[in-house]
Structure 1
Amino acid sequence: MPLLDWSRIRLRNVERYPVEGPNALWQIYRTVSPWKGVKNFICIQMARYCPHLPTKNWIYRHMLGMKVGKHTAFGLMVMVDAFFPERISIGDNSIIGYNTTILAHEYLIQEYRLGYVKIGSNVMIGANSTILPGVTIGDNAVVSAGCLVHKDVPAGAFVGGNPMQVIRYSEE
C-alpha cells in the first residue's frame, strides 16, 4: 500500500498555535478575554432565539462583528463561534439552517487553530450542519442537512454527508 501523499491534500486554511502544559482549551483565556466570551455568549443566545431576522442580523453585525450580507437568514438555534465571531462572513441572500454550528476555532490537546469562515451569496446550509474553521463555501452552493463541512465547497456545488462529499454540481 503506497504512502499518503500529503502534498496533494488541501487542508483547511487555519492558523496553528502550539501550547505547552494542559490542553489548549484549558488555556483559552490566554487567547480570548473572558469578558469577550461572556458578552458574545449572551449576544449569541439572544440571536439564537430571536424570531425577527433584521434584529438577529443586527446582533450579528453590530454586537459580534460578523460580516452578514443583505437578506441573509439565520434559522432558529444557529450557533456561531462564541470566541471569534468576527472571523465569520456570509454573503447576500443566504440561509443558515436550524441548529447549524459555525466554528472559527478549534482547541485541541497540544494546539489551537483559528480560521476564517467565508460563506458566499445565495448559499443554502441545511439544518444541523457543522462548519469547521478555515472553510470557504462558494456562491450558490447547497449544503445538505446534517453535513460536516470539513473542507472548501466549490461555487454551485451540492454537498452532503459526514464526511462531506460533493454530490453534484449546479448546471447553471
Structure 2
Amino acid sequence: MRRTERYPVSGANSLWQLYRTVPFWKVVKNFLVIQTARYCPFVSVKNWLYRTFLGMRVGDKTAFALMAMVDVLFPERIRVGKNCIIGYNTTILAHEYLIDEYRLGDVVIGDNVMIGANCTILPGVTIGDGAVVAAGTVVHRDVPPGAFVGGNPMRVIRDRYRTPEGPHAPGGGDPETRP
C-alpha cells in the first residue's frame, strides 16, 4: 500500500499551482543538479551530488546508472539503502500532481536492492531489502524483502522465501510432479 499525504487544490489543476508548494529557486537548483547527475559517469560523484545538494539519503556503494531520474521537487523524500543498483533511465518520484489534488510520499529503498532499467517508482512505496525489480516495472505498491517483481501492473514473480509456482516452475507448477 502506498503511503501518501493528500493536498486538495481548487481552480486550475495542481501542476499550475506548483510554485505555491515548492519555491521556484529550489526547483531550478534541483533541476540543474539532477541533470548533471543523470549524465555523470562517476557513481561517487552522483551520490555526492544527491547527498550534498538534494538532501537525499544514499547508502554506501549504491550506484545510480546513467539517466536515472530522481524527483525534482521533493528529492529529500527519497532514501536509498546500501549496495543498491538503480537502473538506466529509472524514475523515482516522491510527488504526484493530479487535477484536484497533489500527493507527496516518501520512497524507501532498502539495502542490496536491484532496480532494472526504465522502471518508475511511485511516491509512498517501500522496496524491501534484497528485492529485485525487473526492467520496465511500475512500482505502485510496496515490494516485500527478497521479492522479485515485474510488470505493469507490478506483481510478485518470485519470493526468496517461497518456491515458485505456475506453469514455468519446475514440474509445471503442479506440486505433485515437482522434483
User: Would you call these one fold, judging by a TM-score over 0.5?
Assistant: yes
Pairing partner for 1:124 from 114, 121, 126: 114
Question: Match of 1:155, as an amino acid?
Answer: P
Percent same amino acid among aligned pairs?
71
Which residue is 1:33 aligned to? 23
1:57-84 per-position Cα deviation (integer Å, ceiling 9, x unaligned): 0000001100000000000000000000
Q: Secondary structure of 2:27's partner?
A: helix
Per the TM alignment, residue 97 of structure 1 is displaced from its structure 2 partner at its CA by 0.2
Question: Match of 1:97, as an amino acid?
Answer: G
Q: Is 1:93 aligned to 2:83, yes or no? A: yes
For 1:125 and 1:98, the matched residues in 2 are separated by 9
Task: Find runs of 4+ consecutive structure 1 residues off by over 4 angstroms.
Answer: none
For 2:78 and 2:15, the matched residues in 1 are separated by 21
Per the TM alignment, residue 40 of structure 1 is displaced from its structure 2 partner at its CA by 0.1
Pairing partner for 1:20 from 2, 10, 13: 10
For 1:63 and 1:30, the matched residues in 2 are separated by 22
Pairing partner for 1:151 from 138, 141, 149: 141
| Runs (5+) with no aligned partner, structure 1 | 1-9
Which residue is 2:47 aligned to? 57
Q: Secondary structure of 1:45's partner?
A: helix
Which residue is 1:106 aligned to? 96
Question: Match of 1:32, as an amino acid?
Answer: V
For 1:28 and 1:46, the matched residues in 2 are separated by 23
For 1:139 and 1:112, the matched residues in 2 are separated by 29
Q: Is 1:79 aligned to 2:69, yes or no? A: yes
Per the TM alignment, residue 171 of structure 1 is displaced from its structure 2 partner at its CA by 4.2
1:20-78 per-position Cα deviation (integer Å, ceiling 9, x unaligned): 11000000100000100000000000100111111110000001100000000000000
Which residue is 1:139 aligned to? 129
For 2:118 and 2:22, the matched residues in 1 are separated by 27
Considering only aligned residues, what root-mean-square deviation do their CA atoms show, in Å?
Answer: 0.9
1:135-164 per-position Cα deviation (integer Å, ceiling 9, x unaligned): 000000000000000000000000000010
For 2:50 and 2:69, the matched residues in 1 are separated by 11
Per the TM alignment, residue 170 of structure 1 is displaced from its structure 2 partner at its CA by 1.1
For 1:41 and 1:109, the matched residues in 2 are separated by 23
Q: Secondary structure of 1:58's partner?
A: helix
1:70-115 per-position Cα deviation (integer Å, ceiling 9, x unaligned): 0000000000000000000000000000000000000000000000
Aligned length: 162
Bigger-Rg structure (1/2): 2
Q: Secondary structure of 2:156's partner?
A: strand
Q: Secondary structure of 2:157's partner?
A: strand
Question: Match of 2:17, as an amino acid?
Answer: Q
